[in-house]
């Protein structure tokens, strides 16, 4: 795969995945676009070495994940907020309200770095824990632990806000 047309095709096919991984992790569209652009530019130089569509997809996912984490670390010198310290927005939207998606995205964006990426890979890309572990170079049990704790916290927060909304 050497031609500009081949690159354009790969770009069109995978731009949603790459941009969304960065966006859901960084919660900043401008930064997400910078990361996404850099990922594709790096791909452009390596396309010949990638053997198959599956290999390309895997490469893109892995590089996007690591570049997003790097970008997050560059911008955040302060310690991570603990799982129990994620602040809740003041007015919870009703179930079925499109704003609920935005609320969940904000709660996810406030998770610490590694659990956040685990959640994004699980629910955006539908990867199982073994696949997530391979992308993040992390033990499978650590992935499962991050996932479980994050879901417990998110569930508690959403249930609490739903309870408040019903009052």
Partner 1 sequence: MKRILFVLSLALICSVARMDAQLKINLDNLASKAKEVVDLSLDSAMLQTAGQFLSAEKSNEAKAKALISGLKGVYVKSYQFDKEGQYTLDDLKPIREQLQVPGWSRILNVVDNREGAEIYLKAEEGKTAGIAILAWEARELTIVQIIGPINLDQLSELGGRFGIPPVVVPDVKKKLTK
Partner 2 sequence: MNLDDELRSALKRQEPPAGFTDRVTARARVKPAERRSTWQGKLGRLFSLRTLEWATACAVATVLLVGAGGEYRRRQEGERAKAQVVFALRMAGSRLSFAQRMVLELSSGRTAVPAKKPSAGEERQ
What CA–CA distance (Å, rounded) separates 14 from 130?
22
Residues whose CB is less than 8 angstroms from the CB of residue 4 and which lie 6 or more positions away in sequence, other chains included: none
* Per-residue binder mask for partner 2 (CB under 8 A), 84-123, x = binder: xxxx-------xx---xxx-xx--x-x-xxx----xx-xx
Residue 30 near partner 1 by CB under 8 A? yes
Residue where the block lists tokens 């824990």: 129
Residue 97 near partner 1 by CB under 8 A? no
Select the residue interacting with partner 1 from 6, 70, 87, 89 (CB under 8 A): 89
- Closer CB to partner 2, residue 55 or residue 99? 99
Say if residues 140 and 151 touch (Cβ distance below 8 Å): no
Using the rule CB under 8 A, give the single segment among 48-56, 57-65, 154-162 that binds partner 2.
154-162
Interacting residues toward partner 1 by CB under 8 A: 27-30, 33, 74-75, 77-78, 89-90, 102
Give the interface with partner 2 as residue ranges (CB under 8 A). 4, 7-8, 11-12, 15-17, 19-20, 23-24, 28-30, 32-34, 36-37, 40-41, 44, 78-87, 95-96, 100-102, 104-105, 108, 110, 112-114, 119-120, 122-124, 126, 136-139, 141-142, 145, 151, 154-155, 158
């Amino acid at each position: 795969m050497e031609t500009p047309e081949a690159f354009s095709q790969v770009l069109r096919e995978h731009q949603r995945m790459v941009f969304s991984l960065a966006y859901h992790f960084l919660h900043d569209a401008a930064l997400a676009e910078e990361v996404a652009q850099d990922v594709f530019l790096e791909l452009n130089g390596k396309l010949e070495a990638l053997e198959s569509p599956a290999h390309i997809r895997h490469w893109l996912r892995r590089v996007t994940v690591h570049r997003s984490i790097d970008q997050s670390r560059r911008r955040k010198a302060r310690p991570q907020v603990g799982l129990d310290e994620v602040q809740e927005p003041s007015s919870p939207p009703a179930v079925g309200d499109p704003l609920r998606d935005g609320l969940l995205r904000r709660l996810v964006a406030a998770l610490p770095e590694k659990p956040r990426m685990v959640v994004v890979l699980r629910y955006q890309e539908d990867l199982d824990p073994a696949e997530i572990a391979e992308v993040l170079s992390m033990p499978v049990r650590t992935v499962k632990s991050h996932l479980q704790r994050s879901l417990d916290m998110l569930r508690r927060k959403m249930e609490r806000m739903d309870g408040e909304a019903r009052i």
